[in-house]
Amino acid sequence: MESEFRKIPGVDKVLADKRLAPLVKTYPHDRLVKLVRQRLEQERTAVAAGKKASALSKIAEAVYSQVKAMETPGLRPVINATGVILHTNLGRAPLSQEATAAMDTVARGYSNLEFNLDSGARGSRQVHVESLLRELTGAEAALVVNNNASAVLLGLTALAKRSEVIVSRGQAVEIGGGFRIPDVMRQSGARLVEVGTTNCTYSSDYEQAIGPRTVALMRVHSSNFRLMGFTSEVEIEELVALAGRHSLFVFDDLGSGCFLDTTEFGLAPEPMVQRSIALGVGLGFFSGDKLVGGPQAGIIVGRKQLMDKLRKHPLARAVRIDKVRLAGLAATLLHYLKGEATSKIPAWRMIAAPLNDIEKRAGKWAEALGGRARVVDGETMVGGGSLPGGTLPTRLVAIGDGKDRSLVQRTARKLRAREIPVVGRIADDILLLDPRSVLPEEDEIMLKALRELSSDFNRA
């Protein structure tokens, strides 16, 4: 073992290796020395455990690879061919060209984020989106924070701390990633009062639970699941009427948020923000990066008297939105006001895409694979905690016959290993690629990947 320790080179010898020459010229010397020392320490540990010392070339290559890995951005663009439009793991809603341009503009320099250009005095960052949200939803006031969990937490903390909020037991849900409504309420200091049963809640359940400490009734959109069979829930208009009779407010957690009528696209109805406001909810909470189709944000709309309390609460600063996302959200909201959401916002473009167009694209994808794939019927999920169980018809490119799992797994890995990874989904040992969740302008990248994959098949 002693002879193996002697084989471990010194720092200077590693730095002098030709493999590290490019780094020696461009990388900070002290940082490079630190990495070399760390690698050599790993070698000593391995030798002490009975392993042989690595060759100088392998040590130098390992240091070089470590530096290059650190320099490679962790976040990379991917092609989402999974058939889930609002895919949480892949970043949810892709942004429109106008939204990304607006974000780039404010990111490259200074902006009037909190500066009133008319008066020369300090202003509010909320003015850049509040008027758009008021116009779009009909609300008296609006406030934007960094995500919907923050929005709900802020609302409950500012308005219901040490008070009671009544929620249907069937709506005391976990949305995902450990985000549970009961936990958020506990963190806010509000007391959750659950009424009804998991599958059935009636207006009388709410009314019987109202007490002197009750400040609000709350509806929580189930988002990622749907109860079937014998069920009953209180509609939002009935909840608002009940709250009005007892001088209470209704808080409406709309989850993914929606400004368009989803039934026009063959989908199940999704709660619309405008309708909740028109019916008289006190506050509505929803995300900016799901069905709205913008950057991550938590949006609150509703009555001015309530919003003013939220603005003044210390938590509002802790959860405020940054300038870049604010710019992207404003540009996204403008698409709705201009009536161009289905032609500009990527998520809605995908939802609204005609099936004939998708079939033509799927045919070209399959052709690029040179007979190694076929086009089959399928379903696209909207995803992102919206429209649970709701799907859109699509045409899928299917690779594999369900009999060779290892081939399908290798093929999926090859697509994911590309400079711009292509991510599909595997079902019943068949790799499925869905054009509906891929924008048409990404087809050239997709076709190149499939042609090269076809060449790999032919060489195998």
Partner residues linked to 179 by β-bridges: 176
pLDDT in tens, 262-297: 999 999 888 999 999 999 999 999 999 999 999 999
Q: Which residues contact 430 (CB under 8 A, 6 or more apart)?
A: 398, 399, 400, 401, 402, 408
Please report the pLDDT score of residue 389 as a whole number.
Answer: 66
Domain ranges of the chain: 2-71, 79-86+347-459, 95-344
Asked if the model's pLDDT at residue 164 lies above 70, the reply is yes
Is residue 437 within 8 Å of 380, Cβ to Cβ? yes
Q: Minimal CA–CA distance to 276: which of 218, 223, 227, 231?
A: 218
Q: Is 265 exposed, middle or buried (0-12, 13-18, 19+ CB in 10 A)?
A: middle
CA 150, CA 320: separation in Å to the nearest integer?
9
> By the 8 A CB rule, do 286 and 273 touch?
yes
Residue 195 tokens read as 């009424």
Q: Answer for the pair 223, 256: CB distance below 8 angstroms, yes or no.
A: yes
pLDDT tens track for 373-408? 999 999 999 987 667 667 899 999 999 988 888 889
CATH for 79-86+347-459 (3.30.2320.50, 3.10.20.440, 3.90.1150.180, 3.65.10.10): 3.90.1150.180
pLDDT tens-digit series, residues 133-157? 999 999 999 999 999 989 999 999 9
What distance in Å separates the CA atoms of residue 42 and residue 90, rounded to the nearest whole number?
35
Summarised one tens digit per residue, pLDDT across range 19-42 is 888 888 888 999 999 999 999 999
- Asked if residue 225 has pLDDT above 90, the reply is no
Cα 57 from Cα 65, distance rounded (Å): 12
Average per-residue pLDDT in the chain? 91
Of 445, 88, 151, 165, which Cα lies nearest the Cα of 319? 151
pLDDT at 332: 98
Distance CA 249, CA 125 (A): 27
Is the model more confident about 145 or about 186? 145
CA atoms of 63 and 13, how far apart (whole Å): 13
Mean pLDDT of 65-91: 91
Which residues on adjacent β-strands are paired with residue 249? Answer: 216
| Tokens 């010392």, located at residue | 53
Percent of the chain with pLDDT over 90: 71
Residue range 311-316: mean pLDDT, rounded: 96
Q: Is the C-alpha dihedral spanning 193, 196, 197, 199 positive or negative?
A: negative
- Please give the share of the chain, as a percent, with pLDDT higher than 70: 94
pLDDT of 303 higher than 80: yes
Give the pLDDT band (50/70/90) at residue 6. Answer: confident
State whether residue 1 is helix, strand or coil: coil
Rounded-to-integer distance, Cα 239 and Cα 254, Å = 14
CATH of domain 95-344: 3.40.640.10
Asked whether the beta carbons of 347 and 137 are under 8 A apart, the reply is no
How far is residue 211's CA from residue 196's CA, in Å, rounded to a whole number? 16
Nearest to 325 by CA among 163, 80, 125: 125
> Do 146 and 118 touch, CB atoms closer than 8 A?
no
- Give 285's strand partners: 253, 300
